[in-house]
C-alpha cells in the first residue's frame, strides 16, 4: 500500500487503524478500544490498556534473544570518550537504578527531574523512571537555576537525578551549584538527589540529601517493570510559554508507545537493528522521542552524541560519525547544516569519509530553507526530508513517508500530513481557506496517539492555548498553506505574519529569498512599525565563511 491508501485507511477507520498499530506493542492488558472521547475535547488513547514503556524499550528485546545488540552508541568528541551499551547491559543498568529509586520510596506517579548532559546515564535515568511508572521531567542540562526552580515548583519532584557537570567546547559547566541554587529558590523541596560524578568536575554532595550515583545503587534489588494504564503520564516536558511561565507538556504512555513505534518504520524507513541518529539533546522533545524512546522501542541502535556539528573538532564531525557508526538515518535541525555549510561551503570534508550507510537525512525543529536542503542533497547524495512537528505533538504532523514510499520532494514543504492528522488552513474566524491561501494551520480533533492530552496541572491553560480559538481543532500556532497536491507549507508562526499595507506577508517566505543568495549562511526577517504601511520587513544576514 502506498501513502494515499494508508492515509485513506486511517480516515475510513481511525480507531481501527491505531488498534492495529498497537499490536506491535507488548501489553500487560490489551486495550479494548483505542479512543476515549467521553471528555471531548479532551481525548485519551488506549486508557484501559496496561503497559510498561521500559519493558517495550529494553526488556522485550532481551527476552526475544537480541540482548547482545547494541542499544546505545555513545560518542563524545568533546571528551574523547566512546562506549557501547547492549540491550542486556542496558536492562541491568536500568533495573539497578530503578531498584535503588524504589528502595528510596519512588513509586508510580511520583515525579523525578532529570538534569543531565548527553551521556548514556541520561537515558538510563529516563528508562528507570519509566520502569517504575514514575513521571520524569527532563530539564536541559545547564539551564539556569531560576528556570530549574520554576520546574521544581510545578512538577514537585520527589527526586532529582543529575550529573556533576556538562562539557561544552572549551569549558566545563558545573551543574551542582545550579541545582543547589534552584532548590534554595524553590518552594517545593525534593527529598533527595542522585549525582553521577564526571571526572571533568566532581560535585560536592550535601549530606543527608545527595547521593553518589554508584553508592546509591549498592545492594539494591533490581526492579521489575510496573504496568501502568495507557493514559498514565509517561513524562512532563516543559516548553516555553508566551506568558513566561513554561508549559508542562504531558505525554500519555500507551499512545506514546504506539505512535513512536509506528513512526520509525513508516516515516524514517528503519528496521530493527539499524543505527538511527537524532543529533539533538535529551532536554528537548527530539531527544525524548528520537534519542531515547522511539529507536529503543523499535529495536534500533540509538546514538548519544556529546558534541557539536562544528568545532568538535571541525565541520566533518557528522560525516566521521556516519562512517564510523554505520548510521542509516540522520535527523537534525537545519541550523546544524547551516553551521556546517558556513564553515565548509563546498563540502570538502564530506569527500574524506565513506557515507554509503546513510539512506536519508531528516530535518526538523525550524523551517528548512530550500538553499540548505539543496546544499545537503548535493553533498550527501541522499534524500533530504524536511518534516514538521512540535514539542506538543511528540512526532511528525507532516513528512515525506520515507518508509511507506518516497513522494516527490517539493522544496519548502514538509510534504503531507501523516495518518492521524487532518490538517486544515483556517482564517481568523475559523473558515477554511482555498489551496494556496495563507492562514492558520489547525488539526481537526481528536489528535492522534502520542500527542499531548493536556498540560500538567493546567487544563484551562491547555484549552485556552490550543483549543478555544478554533473549536473542534488544535491550533498549531503556525501559519501556512496547502497546495493543489495536498502538500503543506509552513511559512511562519502566526505571530510572525506581518501586515504590510493591508497585505498579510510571511516572514518565512522573505527569508527563503534571502537564503537563496550563495553568500548568505543564515538570515532572519522581522516586522517593524511603519507610519505609512503599518509594518515593514527588515532582514538580518550572516554570511558564509570566507565571503
List pLDDT tens digits, range 221-254.
999 999 999 999 999 999 875 456 889 999 999 9
Above 60 in pLDDT, residue 509?
yes
pTM: 0.92
Helix (H, G, I), strand (E, B) or coil at 526: strand
Average confidence (pLDDT) over 465-482: 97
Q: Which residues are within 8 A (CB) of 468 and not within 5 positions of it... i.e. 6 or more apart?
A: none
Q: What cell numbers appear for 81 in the block?
A: 570518550
Distances (CA, A) of 285 to 292, 300, 365, 435: 10, 19, 10, 31
Quick one: what percent of the chain has pLDDT higher than 90? 87
Task: List, by residue range, all CATH 3.30.300.30 domains of the chain.
Answer: 499-543
* pLDDT score of 531: 67
Helix (H, G, I), strand (E, B) or coil at 259: helix
Helix (H, G, I), strand (E, B) or coil at 22: helix
Average confidence (pLDDT) over 469-474: 98
Strands 42-45 and 50-51: unpaired
Distances (CA, A) of 87 to 51, 97, 187, 259, 448: 19, 15, 39, 22, 29
* pLDDT score of 505: 73
The confidence band for 503, taking pLDDT boundaries of 50, 70 and 90, is low
Distances (CA, A) of 178 to 174, 185, 203, 478: 8, 11, 11, 34
* pLDDT score of 440: 96
The confidence band for 362, taking pLDDT boundaries of 50, 70 and 90, is very high
Residue 446: is the preceding peptide bond cis (ω within 30°)? yes
Pick the CATH number of 499-543 from 3.30.70.20, 3.10.580.10, 3.30.300.30, 3.30.530.20: 3.30.300.30
Work out the number of other CB atoms within 10 angstroms of the CB of residue 485.
Answer: 12
Pick the CATH number of 3-307+387-481 from 3.40.50.10320, 3.30.450.20, 3.40.50.12780, 3.40.50.150: 3.40.50.12780
Q: How far is 68 from 62, CA to CA, in rounded Å? A: 8
Q: Write the burial class of residue 277 (CB in 10 Å: 0-12 exposed, 13-18 middle, 19+ buried).
A: buried
Edge-to-edge strand list for the sheet holding 488-493: 423-426, 439-444, 473-482, 488-493
Q: Which residues are within 8 A (CB) of 4 and not within 5 positions of it... i.e. 6 or more apart?
A: none
Task: List, by residue range, all CATH 3.40.50.12780 domains of the chain.
Answer: 3-307+387-481
Kindly report which listed range (55-69, 169-183, 318-332, 504-518) carries the lowest average pLDDT score: 504-518
Amino acid at each position: 500500500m502506498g501513502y494515499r491508501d494508508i492515509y485513506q485507511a486511517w480516515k475510513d477507520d481511525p480507531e481501527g487503524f491505531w488498534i492495529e498499530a498497537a499490536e506491535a506493542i507488548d501489553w500487560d492488558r490489551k486495550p479494548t478500544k483505542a479512543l476515549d472521547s467521553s471528555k471531548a475535547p479532551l481525548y485519551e488513547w488506549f486508557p484501559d490498556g496496561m503497559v510498561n514503556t521500559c519493558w517495550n524499550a529494553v526488556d522485550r528485546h532481551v527476552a526475544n534473544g537480541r540482548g547482545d545488540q547494541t542499544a546505545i552508541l555513545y560518542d563524545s568528541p568533546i571528551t574523547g570518550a566512546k562506549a557501547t551499551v547492549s540491550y542486556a547491559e542496558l536492562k541491568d543498568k536500568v533495573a539497578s537504578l530503578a531498584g535503588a529509586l524504589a528502595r528510596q520510596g519512588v513509586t508510580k506517579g511520583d515525579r523525578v527531574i532529570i538534569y543531565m548532559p548527553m551521556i548514556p546515564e541520561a537515558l538510563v535515568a529516563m528508562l528507570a523512571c519509566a520502569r517504575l511508572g514514575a513521571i520524569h521531567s527532563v530539564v536541559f542540562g545547564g539551564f539556569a537555576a531560576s528556570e530549574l526552580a520554576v520546574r521544581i515548583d510545578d512538577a514537585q519532584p520527589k527526586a532529582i537525578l543529575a550529573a556533576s557537570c556538562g562539557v561544552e567546547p572549551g569549558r566545563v559547566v558545573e551543574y551542582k551549584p545550579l541545582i543547589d541554587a534552584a532548590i534554595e529558590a524553590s518552594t517545593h523541596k525534593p527529598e533527595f538527589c542522585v549525582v553521577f560524578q564526571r571526572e571533568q568536575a566532581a560535585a560536592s554532595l550535601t549530606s543527608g540529601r545527595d547521593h553518589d550515583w554508584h553508592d546509591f545503587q549498592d545492594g539494591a534489588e533490581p526492579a521489575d517493570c510496573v504496568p501502568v494504564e495507557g493514559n498514565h503520564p509517561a513524562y512532563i516536558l516543559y516548553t516555553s510559554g508566551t506568558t513566561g511561565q513554561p508549559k508542562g507538556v504531558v505525554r500519555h504512555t500507551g499512545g506514546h508507545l504506539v505512535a513512536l513505534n509506528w513512526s520509525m518504520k513508516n516515516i524514517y524507513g528503519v528496521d530493527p537493528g539499524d543505527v538511527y541518529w537524532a543529533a539533538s539533546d535529551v532536554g528537548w522533545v527530539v531527544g525524548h522521542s528520537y534519542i531515547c524512546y522511539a529507536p529503543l522501542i523499535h529495536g534500533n541502535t540509538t546514538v548519544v552524541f556529546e558534541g557539536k556539528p562544528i568545532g568538535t573538532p571541525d565541520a566533518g564531525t557528522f560525516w566521521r560519525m556516519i562512517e564510523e557508526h554505520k548510521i542509516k538515518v540522520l535527523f537534525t535541525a537545519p541550523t546544524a547544516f547551516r553551521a556546517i555549510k558556513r564553515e565548509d561551503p563546498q563540502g570538502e570534508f564530506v569527500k574524506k569519509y565513506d557515507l554509503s550507510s546513510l539512506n536519508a537525512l531528516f530535518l526538523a525543529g525550524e523551517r528548512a530553507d530550500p538553499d540548505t536542503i539543496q546544499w545537503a542533497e548535493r553533498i550527501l547524495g541522499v534524500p533530504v526530508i524536511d518534516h514538521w512537528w512540535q514539542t506538543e505533538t511528540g512526532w511528525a504532523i507532516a513528512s515525506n513517508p520515507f518508509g511507506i514510499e518516497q513522494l516527490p520532494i517539493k522544496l519548502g514543504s514538509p510534504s503531507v500530513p501523516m495518518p492521524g492528522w487532518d490538517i486544515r488552513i483556517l482564517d481568523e474566524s475559523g473558515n477554511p481557506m482555498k489551496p494556496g491561501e495563507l492562514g492558520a494551520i489547525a488539526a481537526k480533533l481528536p489528535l492522534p496517539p502520542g500527542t499531548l492530552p493536556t498540560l500538567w496541572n493546567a487544563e484551562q491553560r491547555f484549552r485556552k492555548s490550543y483549543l478555544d480559538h478554533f473549536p473542534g481543532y488544535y491550533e498549531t500556532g503556525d501559519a501556512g498553506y496547502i497546495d493543489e497536491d495536498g502538500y503543506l507549507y509552513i511559512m511562519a508562526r502566526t505571530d510572525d505574519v506581518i501586515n504590510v499595507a493591508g497585505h498579510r506577508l510571511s516572514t518565512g517566505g522573505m527569508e527563503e529569498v534571502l537564503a537563496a543568495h550563495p553568500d548568505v549562511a543564515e538570515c532572519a526577517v522581522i516586522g517593524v512599525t511603519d507610519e505609512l504601511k503599518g509594518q515593514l520587513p527588515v532582514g538580518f544576514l550572516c554570511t558564509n565563511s570566507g565571503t
